[in-house]
Amino acid sequence: MTIKQALILETLVLTTMMSPSGSEDIVADHVGTYGTNVYQTYGAFGQFTYEFDGDELFYVDLEKMETVWRLPEFSNFTKFETQSALRNIVVAKRNLDILIKNSNFTPATNEIPEVAVFPKSSVTLGIPNTLICLVDNIFPPVINITWFYNGRLVAEGVAETTFYPKNDHSFLKLSYLTFLPSTDDFYDCRVEHWGLDQPLLMHWEPEIPTPMSELTETVVCAVGLAVGHVGIVVGTILIIRVLRSGGASGRRRTT
């Protein structure tokens, strides 16, 4: 990726809000984003997605000209004609050409992305897991995300999402890496973006609690037993004192 490239972007979004009728203040319970069309000059890149409540339902692979469902089960309930997405991208490209001329070829402003790396589930040594590299505040939506395992580039077991549009017109993207946790291994997610002066490297390694040694376990057990014996002795003494005080007060009442 060449840093400092100029880029102009157009995004078209049709949003539908659904809320209970009869209320004075409209509060959306659900938001459906139908047909987010993104087209930009760099690499002649385009994207067409459908979302519901911020979750992607599907996107259209413009190269393979096919609909890719976020969950394959969704395709059992409905279908989407890919030609509709292609027509929208053509319209977006034509509008973008007009906007470029009207704006005197003004490039888009590069924002600084925010990166976080975390596992999909609790880490257990020897149990397969997935690392997630979350890149937020992306604009423009041109980015390279790569994984490194013990300092070496990873080419297999990697997957990533499309660009998820946000309300502030920036984008979010997720990259996934399947891995087998080990105490000797470490991972890095490298992000390249025009908003960064240099590639950003986010480090991650498993944090596994250090098991107690046999000596430590023995000491802990001994201390626990000692505390238990002290508690028994103190409790016995208190019971004897209560019984004695109760007997003395009873004799005083009889005399």
80-121 pLDDT tens trace: 778 878 788 788 878 878 887 887 767 778 999 999 999 999
Distance (Å, rounded) from C-alpha 121 to C-alpha 229? 42
Nearest residue to 120 via CA among 109, 132, 112, 128: 132
Distance (Å, rounded) from C-alpha 172 to C-alpha 255? 88
What are the tokens at 114?
A: 């925010």
212 against 16, higher pLDDT? 212
Contact criterion met (CB below 8 Å) for 234 and 226: no
Token pair 């969704």 is found at 74
Torsion angle of alpha carbons 16, 21, 25, 28, nearest 10°? -30
pTM of the model: 0.65
Nearest residue to 205 via CA among 226, 193, 191, 189: 189
Whole-number average pLDDT of the chain: 77
> What pLDDT was estimated at residue 1?
44
| pLDDT tens, position by position, 129-179 | 999 999 999 998 889 999 999 999 999 999 998 888 888 889 999 999 999
Q: What is the mean pLDDT of residues 229-251?
A: 65
